[in-house]
A = this chain, B = another copy of it.
């Protein structure tokens, strides 16, 4: 049946790698306004490849970098799959830490090294090549596909959100697919079925109108730094539980099945600690490290500043203290409600003599998908056949806001099928992508179209 497709992928793999090299040579750094034209070249490359694969495609202009839209929708009665990815990349700095230049792709040790290799050019490209294989060998796809490949993922996706909101008909689908995450470990492919959400804020505590002499005034006025420390300390109890009222009310607890799945994953805590350079792990009592990272909400200080921070001592009572805080959230915690609750809680802790200003930055919900859904089953089968081993079901501690957008705006769940590795240096020097993962991912994608075609919609 798909032997032809499989053979096509095998025969053309070398050319695919060559194309990826060309793609990776384009410095499509969305954050760098001097590279606006180069970033557009990235979009044009993607569009040409979509056309070559047999998709109807076009560039959709935005206030920023264009979105590349492609579609093939002739599989009547079959599911429609939305493939999301991005052609923009992180800035390559610090340049002096790259072994080979970030935009001169180098193949060594079975990897292709370049900025964007795994995040997300290499991973995204697998889906275009799998479409090509189907179209060139069978003249059709077993499902309908819609590609939305944006150029602003690394700078906040503002224009994507606007595009999705204004073009619901163009992106109507039954399921979304994103390959922009990682496998669990080398040789252990994974499907990510949950993401944490986030709320972010900054708290500014003001005391005296200027820094005061700590001898003349110390002890008689509330010190904003000491005060802020007390407020931050109050956020957790001794068991690592967050003390914001109602914080855990809507938390969907891990099922025993999930805990068993996590516990069955190979995880070397000693290596985890030594990689991070810490002598102990810690966190909410009665949860494992993986549970804490993937499925429990947090409240972390991201930054803090007050008074004199130069060399040596300075005898002042600072006028102000500031802290940046993010909470990672899990379903069904509500970012907006908890941001309010956090502000209220901190206000209640505010010592007399201080005033408080609260800046609400942004938030998004945590998500968890049913890992027994027919879509998940299809993905599992495709991956198992392509990688030769069944994927593990994992969650991810970070947030991918577009996944929430797909759910809230388009009304669909997302299959997070990561072909990369955590060790691929994404956002860091010497970013890379395994050529074997590239091959396996492309095959998994091709198989996925077939598996998804079996689902009744």
Contact = CB atoms under 8 A, between A and B. Distances in A.
A362 interface: yes
Interface string A22-65: 00000000000000000000000000000000000000000000
Interface in A187-215: 196, 198, 200-202, 207-210, 212-215
Counted per complex, copies of this chain come to: 2
A302 B308 contact: yes
A221 interface: yes
Interface stretch (A124-132, A161-169, A253-261, A313-321): A313-321
A74 interface: no
Contact of A217 (B225, B276, B302, B399): B276
A281 B212 CA distance: 14
A70 to B, nearest CB: 30
B229 A278 contact: no
Contact of A308 (B234, B307, B315, B324): B324
Most chain B beta-carbon contacts within 10 A, residue among A233, A293, A396:
A233
Contacts of A226: 232-233, 235-236, 299-301
Contacts of A209: 276-277
A232 B226 CA distance: 7
Given A276-B208, A282-B353, A219 B307 contact: no
Contacts of A305: 304-306, 309
Contacts of A317: 300, 302
Contacts of A324: 307-309, 313-314
A353 B280 contact: yes
A373 to B, nearest CB: 24
B225 A228 contact: no
A322 B310 CA distance: 11
B293 A315 contact: no
Contact of A279 (B210, B289, B316, B355): B355
B220 A292 contact: yes
Contact of A220 (B208, B281, B310, B396): B281
Nearest to A398: B215
Nearest to A399: B215
Contact of A397 (B219, B236, B301, B361): B219
B308 A303 contact: yes
A310 B276 CA distance: 24
Interface in A218-269: 218-223, 225-226, 228-230, 232-236
B223 A293 contact: no
A196 B220 CA distance: 14
Most buried by B among A217, A312, A355: A217
Contacts of A222: 278, 280, 282
A213 B396 CA distance: 12
A292 B317 CA distance: 14
Contact of A221 (B223, B230, B278, B326): B278
A101 interface: no
A298 interface: yes
Contacts of A215: 196, 198, 328, 396-399
6 closest A-B pairs by beta carbon, nearest first, are: A215-B398, A209-B277, A233-B233, A225-B301, A229-B232, A303-B307
Given A214-B326, A220-B281, A313-B361, 5 more contacts: A201-B313, A221-B278, A225-B232, A301-B306, A302-B307
